[in-house]
């Protein structure tokens, strides 16, 4: 009788272990950093706006506003954050941000010294 009980208990544990091993695992969200897009950066941004990298030199325009001049394309971009741009006056930089193509304005996320 004792052997029968021990056998039954052992069989119960083995069945439970097999069932546990075959149960689906819970998927947890990834901890990898995902590139941030404009749509996740601000609620009013359109899906067409993407974070891009711009490089060039921060200078003041004739109107007194800080702009980014890209010598490779010979194009000038307005900068939306004048306070952040002022720290890099006459310096080569790389800027991550989104471009408003209608006004050639870069919406700055971060400025890096180039």
Give the residue ranges of the chain where pLDDT is below 70: 1-48
CATH number, domain 38-113? 2.40.50
DSSP for the chain, please give it: -HHHHHHHHHHHHHHHHHHHHHSPPPPPPP-SPPPP-HHHH-TT--TT---EEEEEEEEE-TTS-EEEEETTTTEEEEES-HHHHHTTTT-EEEEEEEEETTTTEEEEEEEEE-
**What confidence score (pLDDT) does residue 85 get?**
97
**What confidence score (pLDDT) does residue 114 get?**
80
**What confidence score (pLDDT) does residue 35 get?**
44
CA 79 to CA 67: how far, in whole Å? 5
**What confidence score (pLDDT) does residue 9 get?**
52
**What confidence score (pLDDT) does residue 48 get?**
57
Read off the pLDDT of residues 44-64 as tens digits, 9 standing for 90 and up. 555 457 999 999 999 999 999
The total number of residues written for the chain in this structure: 114
Domain boundaries, the chain: 38-113
């Amino acid at each position: 009788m004792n052997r029968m009980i021990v056998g039954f208990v052992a069989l119960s544990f083995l069945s439970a272990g097999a069932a546990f091993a075959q149960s689906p695992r819970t998927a947890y969200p990834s901890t990898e950093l995902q590139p941030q897009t404009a749509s996740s950066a601000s609620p009013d941004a359109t899906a067409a706006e993407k974070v891009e990298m711009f490089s060039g030199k921060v200078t003041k325009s004739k109107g007194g506003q800080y702009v980014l001049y890209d010598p490779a394309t010979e194009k000038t971009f307005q900068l939306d954050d004048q306070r952040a741009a002022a720290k890099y006056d006459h310096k080569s930089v790389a800027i991550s941000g989104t471009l408003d193509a209608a006004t050639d304005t870069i919406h700055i996320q971060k400025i890096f010294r180039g």
